[in-house]
Amino acid sequence: MIPVYALPSMNSLRIYNTLARDKQTFTPRRAGEVRMYVCGMTVYDYCHIGHARVMVVFDIVQRWLRTLGYKVTFVQNITDIDDKIIRRAVENNEPIKSLTQRFIAAMHEDARALGVERPDIEPRATDFIPQMLGMIDALHANGYAYQAKDGDVNYAVRKFADYGKLSGKSLEDLRAGERVAANDAKEDPLDFVLWKQAKAGEPADSGWDSKWGRGRPGWHIECSAMGCTLLGEHFDIHGGGQDLQFPHHENEIAQSEGATGQTFVNYWMHNGYVQIDNEKMSKSLGNFFTIREVLEKFDAEVVRFFIARAHYRSPLNYSDVHIDDAKQGLTRLYTALKDVEPDNQQLDWNEANAQRFQSAMNDDFNTPVAVSVLFELASEVNRTRDAALARQLKGLAGVLGLLAREPRAFLQQAAGTGARQGLAPHEIEAKIAERVAAKQAKNYAEADRIRAELLEAGIALEDKPGGSTEWRRV
């Protein structure tokens, strides 16, 4: 990583706080430190492109916080017990841990491919059952929880005066969460489950013993318990997808604040939905893509760039056309560095382009403006061949997790991980050699034919001074 100096004041960072419905100057609870929790994956299947957005968005957030000089503790959980997990394990006739371990490994592979750094702490829900039960006991003692006739322990929503403050919904507008089935045993349809009573026929590895009977935690209590245990009962930032704002995050607030009696989180961040051709991504619509499916067709850094160049709160419209456009944009940036070696000096934050970049990132992580600065720098590098500007381009892009590869390696690589991605390098070099021979024989028509043939195959040639020829994929 390129060292940095002369950073702007930490106090210049502004974050859109969903709770306040406005941008606010970021002030951490402890000077120079940030404690951040982001809701992670439920591991019963491969991660999809919506998960990729969460991964990349909050990877960029934590990178920028560290760039500003904060000591960051970044926690992202893994939900490894859940009704969907249990159903899938039963369908597969395999132990729950075997299922979840397989998809945790796949998730890590996907994250690595996208250049996502591992969180500082990656807790699994099943390792925090005692803490969840402790929080349920506190809620019961404080009058917020009750055990229903069916054995489930539920949260009494109407007893928490501030319920709805994150989503902005009144109690009359609210409905039970998607993962909480309507249940006649509840005192109120809005109440949600904290501890689910084990049912006859469920796998033995899907439950734990407790004073409330054998069962398993509700989804919402998992994150409350892990967040409070690992970051404290009151911490700085909590993030996740927009779809989690209600009911999941609303319920986290009710649980955590009902149990501890203090503010849970100061700043709530939510990234926007991923849409497929302007429709919300959905399995029922058949427009659902796993990260692995996308990476078979497209380079992982191109996918990261596609996500990064949109503002995290805006909808992200996924399509092959948009990914191809992102590829062309990233190609422009790499091309600028192809023939200009960055100098080995430190990234200069006082330089004009860096000033604009940091102003954008301090404005609620405005990556579209930050990326526009990279394009401006690329144009300057192309015009001036200035090694210092090349250093600024590479260094600033590195803050976003981009441009880390050798430029020619990117420009010459195949598009994705699919088995066959056009002509192999040795086939291209053979064609270039044929073209050189044709030119030496003054058969320029044949040389032009070979160039056109390669271009038709997605290979562009560039004749360099001195007679050499370079190639790249288009």
pLDDT digits over 38-67, tens only? 999 999 999 999 999 999 999 999 999 999
Write down the pLDDT at residue 10. 66
Q: How far apart are CA 291 and CA 46, in angstroms?
A: 8
Asked if 467 and 435 touch (Cβ cutoff 8 Å), the reply is: no
Per-residue model confidence as pLDDT tens digits over 324-341: 999 999 999 999 999 999
Q: Where are the alpha helices (DSSP H) in 186-319?
A: 219-231, 250-260, 291-297, 300-308
For the chain, the domain total comes to 3
148-157, 369-378, 442-451: lowest mean pLDDT where?
Answer: 442-451
Give the single-character DSSP code of 360. Answer: H
- Per the domain annotation, does 267 fall within a domain? yes
Does one domain contain both 240 and 320?
no
Cα angle value 376/377/381 (rounded, 5°): 120
Amino acid at 178: E
Does one domain contain both 93 and 149?
yes
Write down the pLDDT at residue 174. 65
Per-residue model confidence as pLDDT tens digits over 378-399: 999 999 999 999 999 999 999 9
Longest Cα–Cα distance in the chain: 92
Does one domain contain both 220 and 260?
yes
1 pLDDT exceeds 60?
no
Write down the pLDDT at residue 472. 84
| Closest by Cα among 244, 132, 142 to 193 | 132
Secondary structure of residue 75 in the 3-state scheme: strand
Residues in CB range of 178: below 8 A, 6 or more apart: 247
| Closest by Cα among 287, 330, 397 to 50 | 287
- Per the domain annotation, does 8 fall within a domain? no
Question: 431 a known binding residue?
Answer: no
Write down the pLDDT at residue 279. 78
Cα angle value 48/169/257 (rounded, 5°): 85
CATH number for 291? 1.20.120.640
The domain boundary residue, chosen from 412, 439, 456: 412
Per-residue model confidence as pLDDT tens digits over 200-240: 889 999 999 999 999 999 999 999 999 999 999 999 999 99
Query: What pTM was computed for the model?
Result: 0.91
Asked if 367 and 376 touch (Cβ cutoff 8 Å), the reply is: no
Asked if 158 and 189 touch (Cβ cutoff 8 Å), the reply is: no
122 pLDDT exceeds 60?
yes
Question: 228 a known binding residue?
Answer: no
Per-residue model confidence as pLDDT tens digits over 403-459: 999 999 999 887 776 645 678 887 888 888 889 888 888 887 887 898 988 888 888
- Per the domain annotation, does 107 fall within a domain? yes
- Per the domain annotation, does 14 fall within a domain? no
Asked if 85 and 44 touch (Cβ cutoff 8 Å), the reply is: yes
Which token pair is 315? 């909808």
Q: How far apart are CA 460 and CA 450, in angstroms?
A: 11
Establish whether the linkage from the previous residue to 123 is cis, with ω within 30° of 0: no
Which token pair is 62? 């934590």
Write down the pLDDT at residue 427. 83
Which token pair is 95? 């132990």
Check the CA dihedral 186-192-194-196 and report its sign.
positive
Secondary structure of residue 411 in the 3-state scheme: helix
- Per the domain annotation, does 111 fall within a domain? yes
Strands 215-217 and 192-197: antiparallel
Does one domain contain both 78 and 138?
yes
Question: 223 a known binding residue?
Answer: yes
User: What does the mean pLDDT of the chain come to?
Assistant: 92
Per-residue model confidence as pLDDT tens digits over 274-327: 998 777 776 667 778 999 999 999 999 999 999 999 999 999 999 999 999 999
Domain that holds residue 37: 28-271
Does one domain contain both 374 and 241?
no
Secondary structure of residue 208 in the 3-state scheme: strand
